[in-house]
Structure 1
Amino acid sequence: MRNDKTAMIYFPDAAHASSLKVVQDPTSQIRGFYFTKSQISKIEALDYANNHAVYFLFSDLEEPNVYIGQSINGIFRIKSHLKEKDFWRFGVLFVTDNNSFDRVSIDYLEYYFIQEFAKTQYNLENTDRRNKAPNLNLFNRSVLKGFASHIEFLLEALGISFNPIEAMAEDVHYFNAPGSIQARIYLQDGKYVLQKGSIIKKPISSAKEWSDGGRFFKRYMRYFETYIDSDQAEIIDGQSARLLKDIEFTSPSTPANLVNGHSNNGWKFWDGLEEKRKEANQ
């Protein structure tokens, strides 16, 4: 069965091609607007940007965060987040050309993607995790899942991956955690993938008193609990859990912190990783 697709990308401002773009699957009326904070005002002038929408706000930090929302007036809703939410660096807004999204559609899509991103390496900024599905009939649910599939494809086309691809052992180089820590990572497509079966730990209790005001403790406790709640890890004891799937990260430090419960320099933490980087830079 064929699995190839085509996506069209339009750059409204060629001078800012990396920070402002419009993407669309030619077989669908769903259109996505990718923008950084500095380019958000330019989205307002684009066709259909004020239609009913579901949107995603992403950080570009080492620990990737995402906020998922809905809007009946497109980009105007996101502008309010410039002051309300400081974590995000770029966003993606999805609408339909014919404004076929209605309140039911965007409500379901918000619910659907909150559940899907909860299963990934992203840390959800949503305080309401939408644990109860909207009440839809069978036909509406089928149509909206089709919409969700198109949006997932467009997110992937923009480099926002839901799951790392399983790698074959002979194709990758593994880096083990030091000492008795049972964990290892491998590199793939520029990402650092913490392997299934690795043991993650709750952050050390003393981190509550660190000079960062306890932010490290809260962040990594939230990660730990999210992996348990989304069935990506199973509890071993009161302080540790075992990953049930590979999870990718944008830096080696985040998985190092997860498996050690402490703040680490990921390049120095994983055995051989610093040496590998030096070789690549020669």
Structure 2
Amino acid sequence: MVDGTPQGLRVVERAGWTGSCLAFARADYPAARARREVQGTGVYVLVGPDPDGRRTQRVYVGEADEVRVRLDSHQREKDFWTHGFVLSTKDDSLNKAHVRYLEARLLEIAREADNATLDNGTAPPRSYLSESETADMESYLDEALVLFPLVGVNVFDRLDRADSVDSGVQADGPNVGKDEVPDGHRPRLSFKAQLTAAEGREDARGFLVYEGATGPGTSKVMSEGYQRLRERLLQEGILVAVEGGRIRLTKDYIFESPSAAASVLSGGSKNGRIEWRDGTGRTLKEVQRRSAPETA
């Protein structure tokens, strides 16, 4: 934390990695533009609310031989962004071909993640790199993608359905005590109600519901916030109307909580910790209780 506050300029690095990420709010751009990280070759990401209201956020990815020159232009001409992030290296080892490759890859990942509206008008092709350089840039990218969530950027988050996490194996296996849940175990859960059928699991980022979940096409009594979220998901095509008076989830989606997931899908106010159940019929509340056994 450059100025000692978590809201101010931040430089994020990892041991053994030559890269770095400068994170700053637009209000701090005058201080950010004086930093070494923006004076050389690098890749940058601008994030802010989507002014069109189609998505909750908009993102722009760019590259430059001198990042500060491009950021100056965006400071004058782009309205949407509120936070900026600059990827560079401590030894100035990135060249133009490297950052063009990284820019193209980040845009590919952002499109695949589909968490934000892309402000980029065109999709640049990957620049040609040798096999060893490509491996180096992919390694650099792997490290950078780990850092982005630490500074509040989720536009590159791709959902992972790792079998080891959501395989549905129950906690009461032969090697697990009655009240124990293995480290990292997130059992598959289901929610069934009138016209509603869904499967999901807890996730570090919220509550993940799998593609294909269905619910009634009309909503009943629910909080204003959940109603707005339901309408937004319908506008974005994440929820779509299907035959039988139902709606269907078109992609895996992370809700902020199990209650938000259950309420939005069913069209009514629901307590997600009671509604979501594992394969043995235990509620999520019971599963969570078993993960914290009582001690004497």
| 1:218 to partner: Cα distance | 10
Q: Is the 8 A contact 1:63 1:249 kept in 2?
A: no
Distance 1:135 1:120 in 2: 24
Tell me the TM-score normalised to structure 2 length. Answer: 0.61
Tell me the TM-score normalised to structure 1 length. Answer: 0.63
| 1:138 to partner: Cα distance | 2.3
Distance 2:253 2:121 in 1: 24
Bigger shift: residues 94-103 or 162-171: 162-171
Output the amino acid matched with 1:134: S
**Which residue of structure 1 aligns with residue 43 of structure 2?**
54
**Which residue of structure 2 aligns with residue 152 of structure 1?**
145
**Which residue of structure 2 aligns with residue 207 of structure 1?**
none
Counterpart check, 1:163 vs 2:158: yes
Computing the radius of gyration from Cα coordinates, the structure with the larger value is 2
Which of 48, 60, 73 is residue 67 of structure 1 equivalent to? 60
| 1:86 to partner: Cα distance | 3.0
Distance 1:86 1:104 in 2: 29
SS of aligned partner of 2:22: strand
Output the amino acid matched with 1:220: E
**Which residue of structure 2 aligns with residue 231 of structure 1?**
none
What RMSD over aligned residues (CA atoms) do the two structures have, in Å? 4.4
Distance 1:76 1:252 in 2: 45
User: Deviation digits for residues 75-133 of structure 1, max 9, x if unmatched?
Assistant: 34224323533333222111112322221111110100111121214123234452743
Q: 1:128 to 1:142 in 2, by over 3 A?
A: farther
Distance 1:224 1:111 in 2: 29
Within a 5 Å distance, the mapping from 1:90-101 to structure 2 comes to: 90-101=83-94
Q: Is the 8 A contact 1:51 1:96 kept in 2?
A: no
Q: 1:185 to 1:79 in 2, by over 3 A?
A: farther
Q: 1:164 to 1:217 in 2, by over 3 A?
A: closer
SS of aligned partner of 2:40: coil
User: Deviation digits for residues 215-250 of structure 1, max 9, x if unmatched?
Assistant: 9699615x689xxxxxxxxxx99x987656x33255
Distance 1:94 1:55 in 2: 6
Q: Which has the higher contact order (CA 8 A, sep 6+)?
A: 1
The number of residues matched between the two structures is: 236
Which of 127, 137, 155 is residue 130 of structure 2 equivalent to? 137
Q: 1:251 to 1:79 in 2, by over 3 A?
A: farther
Specify every segment of 5 or more residues in structure 2 that has no aligned partner in the other structure, as ranges. Answer: 171-185, 216-230, 276-284, 286-296
**Which residue of structure 2 aligns with residue 248 of structure 1?**
254
**Which residue of structure 2 aligns with residue 12 of structure 1?**
2
Q: 1:259 to 1:135 in 2, by over 3 A?
A: farther
| 1:148 to partner: Cα distance | 1.3
Q: Is the 8 A contact 2:262 2:271 kept in 1?
A: no
